[in-house]
Amino acid sequence: TLVNMVVRHLVQAIRSRDGAFSSIKQHSAGSYYERVKISQPNEFDIMLVIPVERLQLDESDDTGAYYYLTFKRTPKEKYLLKFLDEDEKLSAFKMLQALREIIKQEVKNFKNVEVTVTRKKAGSPAITLQIKNPPSDISVDIILTLEVQQSWPPSTQDGLNIKQWLGTKVRREFKLRPLYLVAKQNKREKVLRGNTWRLSFSHIEKDMMTNHGQSKTCCESDGSKCCRKGCLKLLKYLLEQLKIKYPKELEKFCSYHVKTAFFHSCVMWPHDTDWIIEDLDHCFQKYLGYFMECLQKSQLPHFFVPQYNLLSLEDKASNHFLSRQISHQLNNRFPIFQE
């Protein structure tokens, strides 16, 4: 409730200012809204979405996930022109900076709740708010997102391989959805200019999480329950606890790795009967086995952009380290769950 109040107020304040962000709308993303949040609900992801009619996308590297954006012709959204850099590319850095300034001014106007904007983390696409809420604070990541009404780029062609799992029709419907691009620095660039954008599919991921069964009634009040989300929560918790134990060795890992492996597992075992609630233990170990295989090979393809490997070979040492830690947990009946 507190988060909604703060974000609603901010969105209204941002929209009431003329110019670039007047058409902004709010989308909730992340684990809390997918109902797979573990531990405290103290971290939230909110996407602030700006609709844009058409953009030209040029790949910025070979991952197929990062793009430079330019306008083919003068856009209807003239206010975006001031965010172009010297190469006529839409600068994520400039847009983020402008949005950040507005938010920093606006949080001062809250009367009955203390909200601050935390210091900028290098390369992070988020503007992070801290909301005072004793005994602990709530952190809200605001992610600047463009919503483009055009077909998905070629790199997504072989992704979203859900025909066996959710069906061809669902896949077709998903592919007709708008394209989301988030302001995210591509770390592989030789010169970091802050003008790259990364594809985001969080709106589709949220839907896949909600309607995750092969039968349309899976986990609904009158349908049979499955253990898919249970398995995901367990692996998320395992990673979270290991990260607390080994922050330095495991800093490269985040819950998105676990979630991507989860979607691949849903494709490998597409039937609801593969995830019977009574088989949680067995299902979790299957999913865990797949994730460990990915770590050992340093190969985890992005679910929507298959050429993009989320576990690079440069991080082989940390991939193997995590794999060893999980093996240890598995062979000793997960002592970390007992702690």
Q: How many Å apart are CA 155 and CA 84, to the nearest integer?
A: 25
What's the whole-number mean pLDDT along residues 110-127?
84
Which CATH number belongs to the domain containing residue 225 in this structure?
A: 1.10.1410.40
pLDDT of 172 higher than 90? yes
Residue recorded with tokens 């109902």: 35
Look up the domain containing 120 and give its range: 2-201
192 located within any domain: yes
pLDDT of 189 higher than 80? no
207 located within any domain: no
pLDDT of 34 higher than 80? no
Domain count, the chain: 2
Domain end (from 167, 201, 235): 201
Q: How many Å apart are CA 287 and CA 55, to the nearest integer?
A: 38
User: Strands 43-52, 138-148: parallel, antiparallel or unpaired by DSSP?
Assistant: parallel
SS3 194: coil
pLDDT of residue 125: 74
What's the whole-number mean pLDDT along residues 121-145?
85
Q: Which of 165, 11, 150, 20 lies closest to 82 in space, CA to CA? A: 20
pLDDT of residue 282: 96
What's the whole-number mean pLDDT along residues 109-125?
84
Residues 196 and 230 reside in one and the same domain: no
The phi and psi torsions of 71 (rounded to 5 degrees) equal -95, 135
Tell me how crowded residue 297 is: count the other CB atoms within 10 A of its CB.
Answer: 14
Beta bridge partners of 182: 145, 198
> How would DSSP label each residue in 195-221?
--EEEE-HHHHHHHHHT-SSSTTTTST
Q: Which of 241, 273, 239, 243 lies closest to 257 in space, CA to CA? A: 239
Reading the block at residue 131, the tokens are 């909301």
80 located within any domain: yes
37 located within any domain: yes
Domain end (from 201, 226, 259): 201
269 located within any domain: yes
Tell me how crowded residue 226 is: count the other CB atoms within 10 A of its CB.
Answer: 24
Per-residue model confidence as pLDDT tens digits over 55-89? 999 999 999 999 999 998 887 778 899 999 999 99
H/E element, 197:
strand 197-200
Q: Is the pTM of this model over 0.95?
A: no
Amino acid at 296: Q
Residues 132 and 190 reside in one and the same domain: yes
Phi-psi region of 35 (alpha: psi -120 to 50; beta: other; left: phi over 0): left
Q: Which of 14, 255, 10, 244 lies closest to 131 in space, CA to CA? A: 10
Residues 34 and 107 reside in one and the same domain: yes
Q: Which CA distances in Å does 222 have to 215, 216, 219, 313?
A: 12, 11, 8, 46
Q: How many Å apart are CA 26 and CA 212, to the nearest integer?
A: 24
Residues 192 and 238 reside in one and the same domain: no
